[in-house]
Structure 1
């Protein structure tokens, strides 16, 4: 089983450095163009896709819809693919988070996997729901449009590197992260690529 995890296209919150979490922030025109460029890249590969899934937040669903229209795939929504719930941090900049929630920032540095976002989830809880989704996929090549935090949690879980700092994994909008499960999710998995955004390079 192969899973190609795609981060959604860019939003205004992404561009302004604002935590969005599960806020339903739409794509910008640039985000839609990013999704179209990715769709063309995937179409040129000529792969057969088993399924196309997306988070039910509009920025992921619209990205998936653009891919699906080009690849001839219907989008299936699953709320388990949502971004981590950042609770009270939603709508704040990083400087504002540091000023208002310095205790959380310190806890997250010491234990990023289990530090709870104020009023929200932990990354461990995020991983559990993402993994529950992955474990239900069957054999084949699956295209899954999700969010930066969810994709990072999946990668660290596969690598059994939960103590690592997830935010050090750089994921451009519409980047591809490929996971391979030779014997299904119960047999463990491998990370083949992280944050591949070659389609956004000039002249690609």
Structure 2
């Protein structure tokens, strides 16, 4: 009898290209900034790289926010992929911080000496624990699908917490602990073997198609 080996999930986590909010150094959150021309060029450069590399994806899933959606649309069009929009992959709701520069945010909202993961952000926005739980929900929803090659186009804050969920690392007080860098159009590649509940992380913050990304 031939044993059929269960298939793993192949998951690529991609941050959007440079947005107007990035270029203006604003805390974007769920404020809806479009891509800059540089951001569009970054997305096209990544698509060309994946063409050369013969990268394979079965489905693209993207946040509905403009900067992620437009990045996903460029890549999906260039690689002839199906695109699905899912709001669970949106960036953190950062409340009244949305659209402000760091200086404006500090002036309007003096920072407390000590914070916990359960505190709100920007008034009533998602704190670290709430964002971590949503990241876990997004990951759980993905893993309830059939094993396949998924490209997720999302945001740095949410993807950071997805990585924490993968590793089983809960948010810490005062934002202590590890963080995971995602530059513009940088991506991580992971595999999940459901029959073993085993993760492998093959790439992290890969942006070799665009050297000067933040």
TM-score, normalising length from structure 1? 0.87
Deviation digits for residues 107-136 of structure 1 (CA, Å, limit 9, x no counterpart): 44xx3x433212211222223223223223
Aligned partners of 1:139, 1:182: CA distance in 2, in Å?
Answer: 9
Q: Which residue of 1 aligns with 2:120?
A: 116
Q: Which residue of 2 aligns with 1:178?
A: 189
Aligned partners of 1:45, 1:182: CA distance in 2, in Å?
Answer: 24
Equivalence map 1:147-162=2 (5 Å): 147-162=155-170
Tell me whether 1:197 sits opposite 2:207 in the alignment: yes
Deviation digits for residues 69-95 of structure 1 (CA, Å, limit 9, x no counterpart): 111102100000000000011121112
Give the number of aligned pairs: 197
Q: Which residue of 1 aligns with 2:147?
A: 139
Determine which of 41, 48, 65 is the counterpart of 1:33. Answer: 41
CA RMSD of aligned residues (A): 2.1
Distance change (3 Å), C-alpha of 1:139 and 1:22: same
SS in 2 for 1:199: coil
Q: Which has the larger radius of gyration?
A: 2
Aligned partners of 2:169, 2:85: CA distance in 1, in Å?
Answer: 28
Aligned partners of 2:153, 2:62: CA distance in 1, in Å?
Answer: 5
Structure (1 or 2) with the greater helix fraction: 1
Determine which of 79, 82, 86 is the counterpart of 2:87. Answer: 79
Q: Give the deviation of 1:166 after TM superposition.
A: 7.5
> Structure 1, unaligned stretches of length 5 or more?
none
